[in-house]
Structure 1
């Protein structure tokens, strides 16, 4: 059964209203089906190797081969319809006493504990540019509320799988260089928020983690199933989150080099033995044991904890700020490099369409 032009146009409008990001693979497939339905088989020149965004789009369109316009239109309508049916309403949690709502976070306050929960479980809580902005806003509010501690965690199995590679596809009209500048500034500012956060910050993790955010927090609890991974060189990039300074301090230069340079993935037990994780709990009792511990922390004198943290962090604060700036400057260069662009392009090419 064919889709009418009216059904196709309706699907185009429905897609604009979709609140939940369907992911890079699906977005490329939607793009390809739209082009095939409106223009037929791919009929434009293949973009250059360094134009990884348009190259990924071209590959997706070209992969449809000789699929007819009618069949492409039907597949487009069916795909958009399935996304609309599956997409839940955007979850917006508002912290007590705050007028801020979040689309990528759940922020709650209870028992003198502010919890900031990454809320993109279907994307393994991969961090988008919007998410970075919301994390900064949540940290600003948590720094001013009356909680004793702040807990960072993630919904689903992952605390965070790291940066969402779809960030690389959002190129402003000014070009790739402008995008690299803006992304570097956003990352630098986010890390600064962690470095200057006044209250004790606890990290609660289930399976996977954005590892360079881990060492910026004060106490780290993980399940025995957790892993810690920094695939910077695999993606043609360089370390961030002050990891070039903190990792060698925490685990020693040799092990830090293995992790930061050669993509070594650490188990929870290894991370704990190296000093990256405070304590590892059995998966079956993790939530119960950790939250008993956190509620006991929240009963301690707030100002005593805050001033003690200032003394501990104050010794390294100036150095960490300098390292953060240096890392972000290097990353801006790496994001414009050929090997980084090739790595991102390979990611899109390997994605199933």
Structure 2
């Protein structure tokens, strides 16, 4: 299973892009959400998950979506952060969100409108891979995760490595799944040119198109479709790439094929 994708969520999902509000608590909630983008470089992943849970509970109420049953640790972690809040009221969740922002920055004043403009769809940085791998020990997959096209090409020159282009690793993923997951189109093109099967399934029955769609990698989706990826392939849970797509634009793209 994939250890990480690109991040836990977009800023929008953390509440950074909150709509105009109609009561004082919700207004403060929105201001706290706007303030988070200033703090992001110094906020750890666990705190971002906590904020995500509070934001979803505060804006939508009790978690009403099914638990993700496949590889995506990001989706599972986000679901768990929301789900564990149980029946907490939206009011309480909003208060906790605001309190968490105040703990992160004691100078934050939730009664003052932010002076910085709102941003949309800005990405939080990826969860770091905490392994410290020596260059000499890196594998094809390590270079794929880095988006290192030159080294990927170099690895594939070895017959032993190229023979594994359609083999899954201990996490149930093949190189093409890692490339689609990471969003590196050029790497994806290299793998396909080396014989990677665009419709190869991982251990959960998902193709690279499932990965690219779920992770919001639109350019990878387009690349895979150009190379014959089948949109009607279902995984072990009966899900197509369109049904796990992260946003409507990708769903629309898939539904045109």
TM-score normalized with structure 1 length: 0.29
Largest Rg, 1 or 2: 1
TM-score normalized with structure 2 length: 0.38
